[in-house]
Amino acid sequence: MFDEPIERLIEYFRQLPGVGKKTAQRYAFYIIENSRERAENFANAIMDVKNKVKLCKECGNYSTSDICPICQKRNKKIICVVQEPKDIISMEKVKSYEGVYHVLFGTISPLENRGPNDIKIKELLARISKDGVKEVIMATNPDVEGDATAMYISKLLKPLGVKVTRLAQGIAMGSDIEFTDEVTLEKALEQRQEI
Amino acid sequence: MFDEPIERLIEYFRQLPGVGKKTAQRYAFYIIENSRERAENFANAIMDVKNKVKLCKECGNYSTSDICPICQKRNKKIICVVQEPKDIISMEKVKSYEGVYHVLFGTISPLENRGPNDIKIKELLARISKDGVKEVIMATNPDVEGDATAMYISKLLKPLGVKVTRLAQGIAMGSDIEFTDEVTLEKALEQRQEI
Say if the Cβ atoms of B17 and A27 lie within 8 Å.
Answer: yes
- Tell me the residues of chain A between 51 and 110 that have a Cβ less than 8 Å away from chain B: 51-53, 62-64, 86, 89, 92
pLDDT value at position B179?
86
Report, in angstroms and rounded to the nearest whole number, the Rg of chain B calculated over CA atoms. Answer: 22
Nearest CB partner across the interface for A36, out of B1, B38, B50: B50
Specify the domain boundaries for CATH 1.10.8.420 within chain B. Answer: 4-52
What number does CATH give the domain B4-52?
Answer: 1.10.8.420
Phi, psi of B138, deg, nearest 5? -85, 115
What is the mean predicted confidence (pLDDT) over B35-57? 94
For residue A40, list chain B residues with Cβ-Cβ distance below 8 A: 47, 50
Q: Residue B140: what pLDDT? A: 93
Residue A189's CB is within 10 A of a number of other CB atoms, namely 10
Question: Which residues of chain A are in CATH 3.40.1360.10 domains?
Answer: 56-194
Percentage of chain A beyond pLDDT 90 is 75
What is residue B194's predicted lDDT score, i.e. its pLDDT? 80
pLDDT tens readout for residues A34-47: 999 999 999 999 99
Instruction: Name the 3-class secondary structure at B37.
Output: helix
pTM confidence score: 0.77
In B, minimum Cα distance to A40 occurs at B47
Euclidean distance between CA atoms A48 and B4, whole angstroms: 10
The shortest CB-CB distance from B46 to any of A42, A49, A53 is to A42
Please give the Cα distance from A46 to A148 (Å, whole number).
36
A·B CB contacts under 8 A = 125
The 10 Å CB-count burial string (b at 16+, else e) for A73-94 is: eeebebbbbbbbbbbbbebeee
pLDDT (0 to 100) of residue A176: 87
- Residue of chain B minimizing CA distance to A38: B12
| Interchain proximity B30–A15, CB inside 8 Å | yes
Dist. CA B10–CA B14, nearest whole Å:
6
- Reported as a pLDDT band with limits 50, 70 and 90, residue A172 is confident
What mean pLDDT is predicted for residues A64-76?
93
Q: Which CATH architecture has domain B56-194?
A: 3-Layer(aba) Sandwich (3.40)
Q: What is the mean pLDDT of chain A?
A: 92
Question: To 10 degrees, the CA torsion angle through A57, A60, A62, A68?
Answer: -50
Task: Place A108 in a pLDDT band, splitting at 50, 70 and 90.
Answer: very high
Instruction: Tell me what ipTM this predicted complex has.
Output: 0.77
**Of B3, B89, B137, B41, the residue nearest A9 (C-alpha):** B41
Share of chain B above pLDDT 90, in %: 75
